[in-house]
């Protein structure tokens, strides 16, 4: 369906357009025009803002579903719910577990995608683990930690039909540099996570091809003026992206503001959301771990943060309030930066001619009214 969009403003990469009509042709954004043909179909969202669809590259679960359940219906449910949150693309994310559980999780994502997701679309799978170290394990199970294995990864990639596009590991583990070189050569985004590596070890990992740090400041050695650690390497190395969870619990607002200032367009907003997202306080699981959520904060029995219950759009709103950056700039940290990190920015991440027409209609309170995927309206808020 071809049509035009009229709105009060459009959040573009480097500006805000407030006057013209935006053409949508064959599921992709066209150009802005001042007038439209008399018989043209116009989506008139006067009074609203049009923003690019958000892209959550790190999400374990939502509203009772968990990727590690190994249930294709759970992936479908996540896909549908994400639309109401302004997310049009996501990476179903695994946890460290035994081989059988990881096999099931990968197969379930493949089955769901092959059947066809009705909501937000999966752009691949994020394999978080199992190649971590114990000191900063977070909610990852150390019983399954081990050195990276190319053979094991190849098995999982074959099982996933080459859908694994991102993998996280601790670079101090034996064989990590060689492993990073290998997966990077296949187009997979090698990421650094749950690690006590030194600054120099991280730089060597980036030299080998790692280009992302997972949930900055969490699951990693902190910043010290004589040993910058993983956090210091993530902040100072301009070659690498860094993920950030902007819920106010994982990272202090002033540190989030600092990260945005330093990393700029290499900052990727994520949720790390688990199954308790959009659910009431109570008892849940993150993989094999029992989790208690109180006041919207999920923790393991030992008190460690267990993922988050954050909505990505709330992370955008939080960082916009905490920083001195425009809404458009901060919004693109949740849409364009994720796409760039995965090499998908030719099609995704911003409102630009030729890209897939993923967009969100926002009211003045930045609440999602409508969400479209590849030009097709998939969600409309009731009332």
What CATH number is given to the structural domain containing 27?
2.30.40.10
pLDDT score for 108: 98
Q: Higher pLDDT residue, 139 or 70?
A: 70
pLDDT in tens, 198-218: 999 999 999 999 999 999 999
Q: 253 and 376 in one domain?
A: no
34-38, 47-51, 57-61, 287-291: the lowest-pLDDT one: 287-291
CA dist., res. 309 & res. 297, Å (int): 7
pLDDT score for 97: 94
Q: 289 and 368 in one domain?
A: no
pLDDT at 382 over 80: yes
Q: Under DSSP, is residue 245 helix (H, G, I), strand (E, B) or coil?
A: strand
Domain containing 42: what range? 3-51+350-380
Within 10 angstroms of residue 37's Cβ, the number of other Cβ atoms is: 9
pLDDT score for 301: 82
pLDDT score for 16: 65
pLDDT at 304 over 90: no
Q: What DSSP assignment string belongs to 138-174?
A: TTS-GGG-----HHHHHHHHHHTTT-EEEEEE-TTST
Q: 310 and 290 in one domain?
A: yes
Q: 359 and 220 in one domain?
A: no
Task: Give alpha helix (H) positions in 225-293.
Answer: 229-236, 253-263
CA dist., res. 332 & res. 17, Å (int): 15
pLDDT in tens, 239-261: 999 999 999 999 999 999 999 99
Strand partners for 282? 293
Q: What is the mean pLDDT of residues 16-39?
A: 90
Q: 315 and 167 in one domain?
A: yes
Q: 156 and 42 in one domain?
A: no
pLDDT at 235 over 70: yes
What CATH number is given to the structural domain containing 107?
3.20.20.140
Q: 232 and 147 in one domain?
A: yes
- Annotated catalytic residues are 272
Q: 166 and 25 in one domain?
A: no
pLDDT in tens, 276-292: 999 999 999 887 888 99
Q: What DSSP assignment string belongs to 292-317?
A: EEETTEEEETTS-B-SB---HHHHHH
Q: 360 and 242 in one domain?
A: no
Q: 141 and 229 in one domain?
A: yes
Total tally of structural domains belonging to the chain: 2
pLDDT score for 293: 92
Are 125 and 111 contacting, i.e. CB atoms less than 8 angstroms apart?
no
11-25, 105-119, 344-358: the lowest-pLDDT one: 11-25
pLDDT score for 300: 87
pLDDT at 335 over 90: yes
Quote the percentage of the chain above a pLDDT of 70.
Answer: 99
pLDDT at 322 over 90: yes
Quote the percentage of the chain above a pLDDT of 90.
Answer: 91
Q: 327 and 198 in one domain?
A: yes
Q: 192 and 47 in one domain?
A: no
pLDDT score for 327: 95
Cα 229 from chain centre: 24
Q: Give 305's pLDDT tier (boundaries 50, 70, 90).
A: confident
């Amino acid at each position: 369906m071809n049509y035009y969009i009229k709105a009060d403003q459009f959040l573009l990469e480097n500006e805000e357009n407030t006057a013209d009509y935006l053409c949508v042709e064959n599921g992709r954004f066209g150009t802005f025009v001042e007038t439209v043909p008399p018989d043209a179909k116009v989506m008139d969202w006067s009074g609203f803002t049009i923003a690019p669809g958000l892209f959550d590259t790190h999400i374990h679960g939502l509203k009772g579903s968990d990727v590690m359940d190994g249930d294709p219906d759970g992936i479908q449910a996540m896909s549908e719910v994400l639309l109401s949150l302004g997310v049009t693309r996501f990476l179903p994310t695994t946890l460290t577990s035994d081989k059988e559980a990881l096999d099931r999780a990968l197969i379930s994502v493949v089955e769901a995608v092959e059947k066809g997701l009705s909501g937000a679309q999966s752009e691949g799978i994020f394999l978080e683990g199992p190649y971590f170290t114990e000191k900063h394990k977070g909610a990852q199970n150390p019983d399954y930690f081990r050195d990276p294995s190319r053979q094991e990864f190849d098995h999982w990639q074959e099982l996933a039909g080459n859908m694994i596009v991102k993998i996280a590991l601790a670079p101090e583990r034996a064989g990590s540099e060689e492993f990073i070189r290998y997966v990077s050569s296949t187009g997979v985004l090698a990421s650094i996570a749950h690690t006590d590596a030194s600054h120099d070890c991280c730089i060597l990992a980036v030299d080998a091809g790692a280009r992302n740090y997972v949930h900055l400041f969490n699951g990693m050695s902190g910043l010290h003026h004589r040993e910058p650690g993983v956090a210091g390497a993530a902040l100072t190395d301009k070659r690498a992206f860094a993920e950030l969870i902007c819920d106010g619990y994982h990272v202090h607002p002033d540190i989030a503001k600092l990260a945005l200032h330093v990393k700029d367009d290499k900052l990727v907003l994520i949720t790390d959301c688990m199954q308790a997202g959009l659910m009431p306080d109570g008892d849940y699981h993150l993989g094999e771990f029992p989790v208690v959520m109180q006041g919207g904060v999920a923790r393991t029995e030992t008190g460690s943060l267990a993922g988050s219950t954050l909505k990505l759009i709330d992370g955008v709103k939080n960082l916009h309030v905490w920083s001195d950056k425009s809404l458009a700039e901060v919004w693109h940290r949740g849409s364009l930066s994720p796409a760039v990190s995965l090499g998908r920015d030719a099609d995704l991440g911003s409102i630009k001619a030729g890209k897939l027409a993923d967009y969100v209609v926002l009211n003045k309170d930045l609440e999602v009214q409508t969400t479209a995927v590849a030009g097709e309206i998939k969600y409309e808020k009731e009332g």
